[in-house]
Chains A and B, each alone.
Chain A
Amino acid sequence: MALVLNEDQALIKDTAREFCASKAPVAQLRKLRDDQDPLGYSSDTWQQMAELGWAGIVIPEAHGGTEFGWMALGAVLEEQGRHLTASPLFSTVVLGAGALLLGGSDSQHSDLLPKIAAGELTLALALEESPHHNPFGSALSAKQEGDGWVLKGDKQFVFDGHSADQLLVAARTNGKSGDRDGLSLFLVAADAAGVTRTRSAMVDSRNAANIEFGSVRVQTNALVGAVGRAADVLEPLLDRARICMAAEMLGTMDEAFARTLAYLRERKQFGVVIGSFQGLKHRAADMFTEIELARSTVLDALSALDANRDDVPLLAALAKAKAGEALHTVSLEALQMHGGVGMTDEFDVGLFLKRARVQEQAFGGRAFQRDRYATLARF
């Protein structure tokens, strides 16, 4: 049971906190947004993150990774969530490297993992085709032609899809949308003929794209995992994504709360700081409680990943459900307690609210996670 960070993990967390505060803070996100930066993150900063070992954090040493593990990755993501850090870490490491580790061939491992670890290759997962998370909803088709496959269809809300070098595309090789069987996962170069990427500026300035695949040809070796069996990769991959997103959300709620507390201590009305009012104190106590509960679920879920425990799916649903609930409350209360200035773009608290809404939806909202938890808990 690892409900606390060990010394190494705590050190990584401290480093990440300092790094994000100085090199990738909220101000950087604002600037990227206001400049309409085409990349949406700083490639210099990303290189420095790779040098710190973050890009290879769950990649085996044999493939150039640091192998610090999921608790360490969660700690880094928490700090990124705290600072609303713009980086391709989640897409490239959690989803990209994650999918390759789960389903990739030996040659995919030896070709791609070292490049990911070095920060030379970015990836994105092209999964969703509708406004709500639907793990097996893909209708985008892949048909065998000659010695390869042809992909046809559209993907939406692909995080970092506008800039990733390669796309992991969930495609249907059999059956229909919603079927667990008949999905296959392909690795597609983002600049392949027939790929059209349209960047969609998300409300929280998170990087995403809608991507059209108009008869895109790939070779057989582009398959990640077995034909028709992508669900075997996607299920554990999405559990990891839920846990890691919950870790990121933990940082976001912790920071939104810390800023709110600071405001409660400094803002004066009626001649006193507003934090002296019981009507606000009790709500602050409730936020603290929610955050601590969410923290416990995130830590246990991350340690379950490191220990390869069989309750990972249940804990993934739990952590994402609880983090979603806590973050929802905290982000709303943070804005409310800031009063009028909270409504302005100039104050950061609104950025946290918007980030929260995107995080909540990603990989399944609260109702999705609650139902999944209930289903898993019954077995």
Chain B
Amino acid sequence: MKLAFTSEEEAFRDEVRAFFDASLTDELREAGRLMTSVYSDKEVALAWQKILLDKGWLVPSWPREYGGTGWTLTQRYIFACERARARPPALSPMGLSMLGPALLGRGTQAQKDHYLPRILSGEDFWCQGYSEPQAGSDLAGLQCQAIRDGDHYVLHGTKIWTTHAQFANRMFCLVRTGRFERPQQGVSFLLVDMEDPGVRCDPIRFVSGCATQCTVYFDNVRVPVSEIVGEENEGWSVTKYLLEFERGGGAAAPGLLEAIGHARMLLELLPEADRSGPARRLDDLQVQVHSLELTELRTLSETERTGSPGPASSLLKIQGSELSQAISEVAVELIGLHGMPFQPEAYALGNNVSAVGPEDGVTTVPFYLNNRAASIYAGSNEIQRNIISKAVLGL
């Protein structure tokens, strides 16, 4: 999208662009290029996080006293566009984009003072413990138990699909502290030390061959009662607040636009006579992405006014994930058999392997496979549609 920027905004864009150009090392660029999902490896993510922290640009949307930039909506948008263009590795979102805002909104002063600086520095690397083997879409059906024992809760149970649990030293999670008529009641939001001897992590190998998520087992894990966010049995409201941030309020569209541009470059792999169909589909997708982009901007300005993106964030999650999948669908069709060799060594960081097929295409299929999860994670798109129909439409 083109906007009529003021000369100050243009200067800001140049500054951001110059920063990305100067601060992205060859290793970081390679890591960004070889991403096969929305996550980067821990070391890479933290290296990039440190650079952004030093610059003061790590958490633009946080309040200034906690490290925010105080940027205008337009500046944040410019930053998102330039980031999409520069393709840096991904930051780990669990602390920066999920727990951070939740603590800012619902944490005690002591929790903010203790945890927010550690999130920024990377000293704490967080994972998110929500889903359980028997509580996926029906998250409120979670059974992981926290029993009060003096000044501690004692945890027993299992969490699953926990991204980067094997690398995290802390987990924010939902546990059952009570039983009431409504399953959402009796859920509490706890901060758990992953180094406790009662915690065990088993990575789960996905269809892509990657193992980014884990099953996490709690056996007699003791958590001080001061590590609760919000009131006991009232953790559901903290989660809802946090999930709205996870689902929306971001800026997915600039990255999707880059993905369309990338797919367009693959068009030339097709015989000329066969290009018009996929080209039109990319045109259609670009119309959708542009519409999403303007809606993201509208939501951002709502968030600035009201403090939370609200249930409308569900529509951003649906659109962002489905468009991303549709674009990668076209990319897979375009790359053809070049994308099909299973060659994880070719997208391992620092590899010296020459890829089968175009260098640019080594991640097309693994990304496509991992990205099938986009419509499942963070509340499946079916759940998002339930939320809209109930919370927005009153059905």
Is B truly associated with A? yes
List the B side residues contacting A370 at CB < 8 Å: 280, 283-284, 287
A-side residues, CB < 8 A to B, are 1, 3-4, 261, 264-265, 275-276, 278, 280-282, 284-286, 288-289, 292-297, 299-300, 307, 309-311, 314, 318, 321-322, 370-371, 373-374, 377
Selected from B4, B298, B388, the residue in CB contact (under 8 A) with A299 is B298
List the A side residues contacting B134 at CB < 8 Å: none
Ranked 5 nearest A-B pairs via Cβ: A296-B294, A281-B389, A285-B388, A374-B283, A285-B385
A325→B319 CA distance, assembly (Å): 15
Identity of the chain B residue whose Cβ is nearest the Cβ of A4 in the assembled complex? B301
A255→B290 CA distance, assembly (Å): 24
Where chain A touches its partner, the secondary structure class is helix
Query: What sequence of 0s and 1s flags, for each residue 262-305 of chain B, a beta carbon within 8 Å of any chain A beta carbon?
Result: 00000000000000000010011011101110110110011000
A275→B390 CA distance, assembly (Å): 10
List the A side residues contacting B74 at CB < 8 Å: 1
Task: Determine whether B392 belongs to the interface, using a CB cutoff of 8 Å to chain A.
Answer: yes
List the B side residues contacting A322 at CB < 8 Å: 287-288, 291
21 A–B pairs (Cβ distance < 8 Å), ordered by A: A3-B298, A3-B301, A261-B395, A264-B395, A281-B386, A284-B395, A285-B386, A285-B388, A288-B388, A289-B318, A293-B288, A293-B294, A295-B295, A295-B298, A296-B294, A307-B4, A318-B291, A370-B283, A370-B287, A373-B290, A374-B286
Quick one: which of B73, B287, B315, B318 has the most chain A CB within 10 A? B287
Q: What is the interface residue range for chain B against chain A?
A: 35 or more
Given contacts A3-B298, A293-B292, A265 and B394 within 8 Å (CB-CB):
yes
Selected from B4, B290, B314, B315, the residue in CB contact (under 8 A) with A318 is B290
Task: Determine whether B3 belongs to the interface, using a CB cutoff of 8 Å to chain A.
Answer: yes
B312 touches A292 (CB 8 A): yes
B385 touches A281 (CB 8 A): yes
List the B side residues contacting A314 at CB < 8 Å: 2
A27→B189 CA distance, assembly (Å): 54
A347 to chain B, nearest CB (A): 20
A294 touches B291 (CB 8 A): yes
Selected from A281, A286, A292, the residue in CB contact (under 8 A) with B395 is A281
B283 to chain A, nearest CB (A): 4
List the A side residues contacting B386 at CB < 8 Å: 278, 281-282, 285
B298 touches A288 (CB 8 A): no
B389 touches A311 (CB 8 A): no
Task: Determine whether B202 belongs to the interface, using a CB cutoff of 8 Å to chain A.
Answer: no
A311→B280 CA distance, assembly (Å): 21
B286 touches A288 (CB 8 A): no
A285 touches B393 (CB 8 A): yes
A116 to chain B, nearest CB (A): 29
A221→B58 CA distance, assembly (Å): 63
A321→B289 CA distance, assembly (Å): 13
List the A side residues contacting B385 at CB < 8 Å: 281-282, 285-286
Within 8 A of A (CB), among B1-49: 1-4
Given contacts A281-B385, A321-B287, A309 and B298 within 8 Å (CB-CB):
no
Identity of the chain A residue whose Cβ is nearest the Cβ of B389 in the assembled complex? A281
